[in-house]
């Protein structure tokens, strides 16, 4: 009885992958576990940089400055974050949640006209009001929480 799970021929993609692995293994040569352990010890022996406090003043370039003096925020400026606007919230039981259908009304904990919460990755950073911009909803910030207060909330 033939094994139906094994193909008779290797696809070109699989062959290319096998060739890449073979080349990598040849390049590695006679590396053994002792060599790997020695490399790991060398990496762990190198001093690690301390975590930087982001509420410290930004560095203003200068070659005579110690890299640990203040944070370089440039490394995080391109990290994407999720910004959300919260109209309000409420708690309901799972029973009531399962009974919701089209046309149901859920009462929130905010009064009409109260400012919305603006959150970044779940952390409150500002309050604002809804506006319409080019037929799309937007938010006009009315009160922004100071950076030092935001950092305190993260801790």
Tokens of residue 63, six digits: 């070659």
Which pLDDT value is given to residue 62? 47
Joined tokens for residue 110: 């905010």
pLDDT of residue 93: 94
Cα torsion 150, 137, 141, 56 to 10°: value is: 30
pLDDT category of residue 27 using cuts at 50, 70 and 90? low
Task: Determine what percent of the chain is predicted with pLDDT higher than 70.
Answer: 63
Please report, to the nearest 10 degrees, the dihedral formed by the alpha carbons of residues 111, 113, 115, 117 taken in order.
60
pLDDT above 60: residue 52: no
**Cα separation, 14 vs 82, whole angstroms:** 39
Split at pLDDT 50, 70, 90, the class of 32 is low
Q: What helix, strand, coil percent values describe the chain, rounded to 5?
A: 30, 20, 50
State the pLDDT at residue 33: 65
Q: Is 94 exposed, middle or buried (0-12, 13-18, 19+ CB in 10 A)?
A: exposed
Confidence of residue 91 (pLDDT cuts 50, 70, 90): very high
Domains of the chain: 76-100+113-154 (2.30.330.10)
Higher pLDDT, 60 or 135: 135
Q: Which of 84, 90, 78 is nearest to 125 (CA)?
A: 84
How does DSSP classify residue 102?
T
Q: How much is the pLDDT for 75?
A: 82
Phi-psi region of 110 (alpha: psi -120 to 50; beta: other; left: phi over 0): beta
Q: Which of 27-31, 67-71, 143-147 has the lowest mean pLDDT?
A: 67-71
- pTM across the whole model: 0.47
Residue 54 has pLDDT above 60, yes or no: no
Query: What's the mean per-residue pLDDT of the chain?
Result: 76
């Amino acid at each position: 009885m033939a094994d139906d799970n094994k193909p008779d021929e290797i696809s070109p993609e699989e062959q290319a992958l096998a060739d890449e692995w073979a080349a990598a293994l040849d390049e590695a040569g006679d590396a053994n576990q002792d060599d790997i352990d020695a490399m790991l010890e060398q990496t762990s022996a190198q001093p690690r940089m301390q975590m930087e406090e982001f509420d410290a003043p930004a560095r203003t370039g200068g070659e005579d400055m110690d890299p640990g003096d203040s944070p370089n925020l440039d490394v995080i400026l391109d990290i994407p974050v999720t910004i959300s606007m919260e109209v309000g919230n409420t708690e309901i039981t799972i029973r009531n949640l399962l009974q919701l259908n089209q046309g149901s009304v859920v009462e929130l904990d905010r009064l009409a006209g109260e400012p919305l919460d603006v959150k970044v990755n779940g952390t409150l950073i500002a309050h604002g009001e809804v506006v319409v911009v080019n037929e799309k909803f937007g938010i006009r910030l009315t009160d922004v929480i100071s950076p030092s207060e935001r950092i305190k909330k993260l801790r």
